[in-house]
Structure 1
Amino acid sequence: MPVLSTHQLSFQLDTGEWLFQNLNFSLTSRLTGLVGRNGVGKSVFLSLLLRKLTPVNGYVMSQGKIAYYSQLSSHLLDGGLRIAEFLGISNKLLALKAIEQGHCLQEYFDVIGDDWDIKNKTKHTLKTLRIDPNLNAYCHTLSGGQLARLQLYQLFNSDAEILLLDEPSNHLDYEGKQWLINELKQFSGQILLVSHDRSLLSHVDGIYQLTSLGLGFFKGNYDVYSAQSSTQTEALDRQITHVKAEQKRMERQAQTNKEKAQQRERHGNRIRKSGSQPKVLMDAKKDKAAQSRSATVINQQNHLQRNQERLRVMEEQKEVLKPQVLYLQQANQIKKRRLLNIENCQLYYGSGKPISLILSHAERCYLNGANGCGKSTLLKAIQNNHLNYSGVIELNVKTVYLDQHFGLLKLEESMLDSLIKSSKELTENTARGLLAGIGFRRDSVYRKVAYLSGGEKMKLSMLVVSHLANSPLLLLDEPDNHLDIESKQILAAALNAYKGAFILVSHDEDFVAEVRINKYIRL
């Protein structure tokens, strides 16, 4: 029986900030979701489960083989790994080739075993994954969606008993997501699914929610979690409102009692001065009033303190979220001119359809199409990263390519250094203000890029590309990937306010609908 659980798990960043403390977790359902806002620590939590990181306190207990899907597969993007090597069938293919050429050593037969049809079977599998069945192709030549499907296919068909999937639907088009949902349902082991994708989370059996307050569990799918979470938040808000109103009422009553006591004291002083009543009697009345007043004040203070403690406990149960906003630098040019001219451009890899586009200042184009049709290939061609096309691409402005894997950022740099180095015009105070807008204040700006979540890296990347000199044409390759729902809305609002030109690639129809697009290309 596979086991994965934690006890009092705590992790501290190199800046001294506690990312989370005392997390207790147990993977008991077949398919469990993990949700939380960008930067709350979901990917770090997975790294702790995999023992890639060491907790400051607490420990992880595991039993059974665990496999992991990462948002960023750098070993596939940067290396010279071929598809056959990644799938672990290179030796079998070499042995088959040797036998076909007449070499009949026993070791070749031992390597092949019963897999005489491995080549054709694998090619058929690649076709079903909508990947060119060239087993010698390099993995880095695949699109983001194709690379995701290839990795996920290998995991689902491995001997792993537990899968940890970190945002597996990123880069996938509609068909890819449907394939993923089907694989999630058919997997016989246990899965922990980290995702912002509601269509995936609607199929889970339970959801863990990670917040700055800790880890909470909700039994049921995303709809059940959303309803329960909203109910709990609304109930807590009502309790806090009630206790605050009670606090104000008690404070007003205490003030009223104090004013009445002062009035009685003044009245007694006037009688004492008039001499109409004996001094002994007046002194006795004064002592009794003082004792009564003292008891009332102590009682009121005790009530107020108890109420304040109740309020403190309730407010500790409520996550306080600072509002965020993404400030993109506005273009300096106001003269409308042609920035990009594409005439009958035909890509050697991807879509066979010729592409034509004229893009002027302040125009924004949406580039749409299925995984593998050539969207990223076209953006890289515009960026002049390759010449694998025919036709004409003319540029009258600098371009900057924001890829799906944050290639602009250096993991060892701090957020502040990354932003300041991107633009000579930025002062430290301005850079700090921009970082504060996306939720990083004071010493948190010194946090290394390596410790940022995917969503935080994307927001930092957007700041970097929009603050480069001379307002370049932005080539945005799925910038909404890794972002939670709120952050997607923030990015859409920032792009709407941006006065420069950009070309946008995205598979999220809701996000694209929120961005005011005036040109469309479908591959």
Structure 2
Amino acid sequence: MPALITHQLSFQLDSGEWLFRHLNLSLTKGISGFVGRNGAGKSVLMSLLLGRLEPAEGDIQRDGNIGHYSQLPSHLIDSDITIADFLGITDTLTASRAIAQGSTDPRYFNIIGDDWDIESQTEKQLTALGIQTHVDTRCRTLSGGQLALLQLHRLFSAEHDILLLDEPTNHLDAKGRQWLIEQLSCFEGIALVVSHDRTLLRHVDGIYQLTGLGLRYFSGNYEVFFSQTSLESSALDRQISQLKSEKKNIEKQAQINREKAQQRAAKGNRTLKSGSQPKILMDAKKDGAERSVSASNTNQQNQMKRNNGKLQSLEELKEKRKPQAMHLPVLTRGKNQTLVHVEGFTLPFGEQILLNFTVNQHDRCYLKGPNGCGKSTLLTTILKGYSPLPGEVRRNVSAVYLDQHFGLLDANVSMISSLMSHCEGLQESDARTLLAGIGFRRDTVYRQVSHLSGGEKMKLSMLMVSHTQHAQLLLLDEPDNHLDIEAKHVLAAALNAYKGAFILVSHDEDFVADVSVNKILHMYTD
């Protein structure tokens, strides 16, 4: 029976810092989601489960054949490998084509076996995935979503007992995401899915959440998880508010007790001076009052100590859950000029639709279309400001492009150096403020880009493009990819507050709904 179980699993970074400690995870059935903030260690835990990293402490029990999908840009992007090569059918195709040309070599017949229609069947499967091309096409010519679907198709076609999927919906359009949900629902083994896609998480049996406090399991889908964590967050706020109120009451009572003690002491001094009562009696009363005050002070100090301890503990917990913030520049609204003019533009692939549209100063555009229709090509053409293809593409202002694969980043440079070198004129204090907003404070700003998670790289890239000097148009190619759910809310809020123009590509319907766009550009016909 397949199973994947960890016991007291811990991982330590090269710096000596513990990324996480004593994690217990038990996968024995069903589909489980896996969520957590960017940088919490989700991908590291996946590497530990796969045996690619060794834990500092703890052990892992693996029973069954494990298949894995990585969120990192595929090696297929930079290679000459064909779809047939990747799917492992090249030899069969070669044999089939040789026989079709008249060869009677027995070796070819042995290679083919029963797979006489391998080419037509494979291309039929590709078409069902939305990859309308032939098997000899080089993988690097496919879009990010098509590459993702191709890799997932091969994974589900293999005989795996356990699947570990690291953000599989990144780059997938609505049709591809639905295909993935259907594949998971039919999968008879065990699956752990790292995802920030709320639609996908609504179809899981349970959710693991990784935080600085450890690993927790929630039985049920995303709606159950969100409801429970929201209740816990509200309860935490109420506890902190109650403790703060209690602290004020203790301080107020202490002040009242001090004033009463001072009044009693003053009255005793007056009585002693008047000589109306024997000195020995007055001294005894004074000693008793001082002992009573001392006991009261000790009790109040203990109350305050307990209160402060609880309050500090809860505020530290709240700090760990504290929402991040992405600060985009404040721009001065100018006249409503035309920033981009596209007329009669046609891409040489996809549905080859004639594109005609303009983007003005105050436009917040959503560029919508399926995988492979040419959205990224259109954005890069706008960035160039001219079209090598039929039609006219004219850009009248400076623009900056955020691509899907972190093309702006140098893996060997620190975060703060990346931000300051790209954003001319940005002061170090301002750079630190921006990085603090996305969760990096003090010396963590010197962390190398190569050590960042996918979501952290995307947040850094977003700061870089949005603070590029004089840029009046943002071209955002799936900026929500890799971001955790909270970070998606943060980015949506930042874009809503942003006064400049942008063209946004995204396949996350929940994220798009959170962003206040005022123009939709269709790359296909409904």
- Tell me if both proteins adopt one fold, taking TM over 0.5 as the criterion: yes
Q: Give, in whole Å, the separation in 2 of the partners of 1:484 and 1:417.
A: 24
Cα distance in 2 for residues equivalent to 1:464 and 1:124: 42
Give the equivalent residue in structure 1 for 2:82. Answer: 82
| Distance change (3 Å), C-alpha of 1:176 and 1:20 | same
- Counterpart-to-counterpart distance in 2, 1:209 and 1:493: 24
Judge conservation of contact 2:66–2:161 (CA < 8 Å) in 1. yes
Query: CA shift at 1:443, angstroms?
Result: 1.0
Q: Letter of the aligned partner of 1:520 in structure 2?
A: L
Give the match's secondary structure for 1:244: helix
CA-to-partner distance for each residue in 1:151-207, whole Å, 9 max, x for gaps? 111111212211111222222222222211111100111111111222211221111
Shift of 1:18: 4.0
Mapped to 2, the partners of 1:144 and 1:459 lie a distance apart of 19
Percent identity, aligned pairs only, is: 57
Q: The residue matched to 2:346 in structure 1 has which SS?
A: strand
Paired residues for 1:14-413 under 5 Å: 17-318=17-318, 320-329=320-329, 334=334, 337-384=337-384, 389-413=389-413
Shift in Å at residue 319 of structure 1? Answer: 5.0
Matched, 1:517 2:514: no
One-letter identity of the residue aligned with 1:213: L
Letter aligned with residue 494 of structure 1? A
1: CA distance between counterparts of 2:318 and 2:363?
Answer: 42
Question: What is the distance in 2 between the residues matched to 1:108 and 1:230?
Answer: 62
Q: Which residue of 2 aligns with 1:416?
A: 416
* Count of matched residue pairs: 523
Q: CA deviation at 1:388?
A: 7.1
Provide structure 1 residue ranges, at least 5 long, that are not aligned to the other structure.
none
- Residue 497 (structure 1) shift: 4.2
- Secondary structure at the aligned position of 1:425 is classed as coil
Q: Give the C-alpha shift of residue 403 in structure 1.
A: 1.6
Task: Report deviation, 1:224.
Answer: 1.6
* Native 8 Å contact 1:48 1:54 kept in 2: yes
- For 1:338 and 1:309, the matched residues in 2 are separated by 59
TM-score, structure 1 normalization: 0.91
Separation in 1, partners of 2:396, 2:242: 62
1:93 and 1:385 map into 2 onto residues whose CA distance is 42
| Amino acid in structure 1 at the alignment position of 2:427 | T
Read off the aligned partner of 1:41 and give its amino acid letter: G
Letter in 2 for 1:447: R
**Is the alpha carbon distance of 1:519 and 1:159 closer, same or farther for their aligned partners in structure 2, counting shifts above 3 Å?**
closer
Q: How far, CA to CA, are the matches of 2:328 and 2:265 in structure 1?
A: 65
> Counterpart of 1:460 in 2: which secondary structure?
helix
Runs of 4+ in structure 1 displaced over 6 angstroms?
A: 385-388
Tell me if structure 2 keeps the 8 A contact 1:341–1:395.
yes
What is the CA distance between 1:87 and its match in structure 2? 0.9
Asked whether the 8 Å contact 1:15–1:447 carries over to 2, the reply is no
5+ residue gaps, structure 2: none
SS of aligned partner of 1:156 = helix
Change (3 A) 1:252 1:19: same
Matched with 1:454 is 454
| Other structure's SS at 2:11 match | strand
Over residues 123-150 of structure 1, what are the superposed CA-to-partner deviations in whole Å (9 max), with x where a residue is unaligned? 1111111112410111121122222211
Which position in structure 2 is the counterpart of 1:482? Answer: 482
- For 1:499 and 1:230, how far apart are their aligned partners in 2? 31
- Matched position secondary structure for 1:132: coil
Q: What TM-score do the two structures reach when normalised by structure 2?
A: 0.90
Question: Is the 1:12–1:56 contact (alpha carbons within 8 Å) kept by the matching residues of 2?
Answer: yes
- Note the alpha carbon deviations across 1:454-494, whole angstroms, 9 max, x for none: 32222211222223344264322112222234433332343
Do the aligned partners of 1:29 and 1:205 also contact (CA within 8 Å) in 2? no
Partner Cα distance (1:333, 1:268) in 2 = 73
